[in-house]
Structures are given as structure tokens and as C-alpha cells.
Chains A and B, each alone.
Chain A
């Protein structure tokens, strides 16, 4: 079956431009997560959705970052006025239940963002 998909797979942008990253979770998965992974580093949690609500936005690094989810499905992560330090792989994951339950997260292939 279809897994988690993300688009674009690669994005090169100029400093100061806005970018929008998309995640399509596995159909029926209630929970959706965004992470950032800089080169050679671990996963940095950004935001979590339960349905269309985001009970935890604590990981968003600044007000330039925002995310939404609609139809309990697709999610978009928007970065405004990109900076070079935003360069990283942005990973999306979904899970069936979320909310602290012991369910497996399935990751998308990520979007590699390069800010020049």
C-alpha cells in the first residue's frame, strides 16, 4: 500500500524566500508529525497533529515556521523568509493513533531544503 509521501523531494531557494513543504500521510492515520534533521544530526521535533489540531507546536523554532493540516490528511509546513540555517531535511511521519499511544511512526522520504 501507499506509504507517506512528501513533496518536493528537493528544494533549493534563495535566502528570504518563502517555501511550502507538503506531506501526504498514510490514509486513515490520525497522527502526523514534522521533524527537521540537519546534516549529521538527530531528529528535531517540530510539530504534531492529532486530526487537524496541533496540540503541540513546541518544536517550531520561530514564528517564521507554521503548519496546517486539513481533512485529517495532507499537511503543509511553511517557512517564511528562509534563512541559511533552515537548510536541512524535513521529515514527515504518520501513525495510526498518536496521542502517546504505542503505535509505530511511518516516515516519508523527506524534503531536502537548501537555502542559498
Chain B
């Protein structure tokens, strides 16, 4: 079983829609969580960290549920430029931050 699992999608949504992704992690020792964004043929870049209390950055909201061992990313008012792959990361259970395989989002006009 993969340590971090994500629905690969693609999620195909119209501009302006709200879309949510979940990511589950198996290592209960994980302490820190992140969402990265990866554009086609580019390197991953940090989108936001995920705090226990949840956090919001503009149209993006991240939540952590330790009891159920999942994190979520909510994108409101989707833009065409949000089209990308979103990678979930769990860290702290070992030396190595563990990446999920990513969820593909396509926002269409």
C-alpha cells in the first residue's frame, strides 16, 4: 500500500467552480503536510502548508483530519490557470517526505 494516496483524476471543472481533493496517508507518525502544484513539464512548487487548525490562502483552503488520516485542498472560483497536478506530501514519519502521485485538475472555459 502506498503511504500517500490520491485520486489521480482528472477533475474536469468549469471556470468558477469549487473543487476539492482529498489525500490519505498511512504513516500515523507523519507530522507535517503540504500541497505542491506541478505544471506540465515543470518542477513541483509549494502551494501551501497544511496546519492542524487548517489554513486559507486566497481561494485555496487546506484542512487536516488526523483521526481519519487525510488532508484536503479546496479551490474556490477556479481559474483556467489553476489547471495543474496537485501533489500531496506527508513528512515527519521518516527522513523522507512522501509524495502522492498527484491529482490532475483541468479547468475549462
Binding site for B on A (CB under 8 A): 33, 35, 41-43, 45, 48, 50, 55-56, 91, 98-102, 104-110
Q: CB within 8 A of B87: which of A43, A98, A100?
A: A43
B95→A100 contact, CB < 8 A: yes
A45→B100 contact, CB < 8 A: no
Q: CB within 8 A of A41: which of B46, B92, B95, B101?
A: B101
Contacts of A108 in B (CB 8 A): 43
A-B contact count (CB 8 A): 54
Shortest Cβ distance from B36 into chain A, in angstroms? 8
Contacts of A50 in B (CB 8 A): 95
Contacts of B45 in A (CB 8 A): 107
B43→A109 contact, CB < 8 A: yes
Given A43-B87, A104-B34, A104-B49, check contact A99 B44 (CB 8 Å). no
Closest to B32 in A: A102
Near A by CB (< 8 A), chain B positions 75-109 give 87, 89, 91-102
> What is the interface residue range for chain B against chain A?
20 to 34
The distance in angstroms between the C-alpha atoms of A104 and B49, with both chains bound, is 8
A109→B42 contact, CB < 8 A: yes
- Tell whether B31 is near chain A: CB-to-CB under 8 Å: yes
Contacts of B49 in A (CB 8 A): 102, 104
Contacts of A107 in B (CB 8 A): 43-45
B95→A48 contact, CB < 8 A: yes
Closest to B92 in A: A100
The distance in angstroms between the C-alpha atoms of A55 and B97, with both chains bound, is 14
Most chain A beta carbons < 10 A, residue from B42, B94, B95: B95
Most chain B beta carbons < 10 A, residue from A42, A56, A106: A42
Closest to B85 in A: A42
A42→B34 contact, CB < 8 A: no
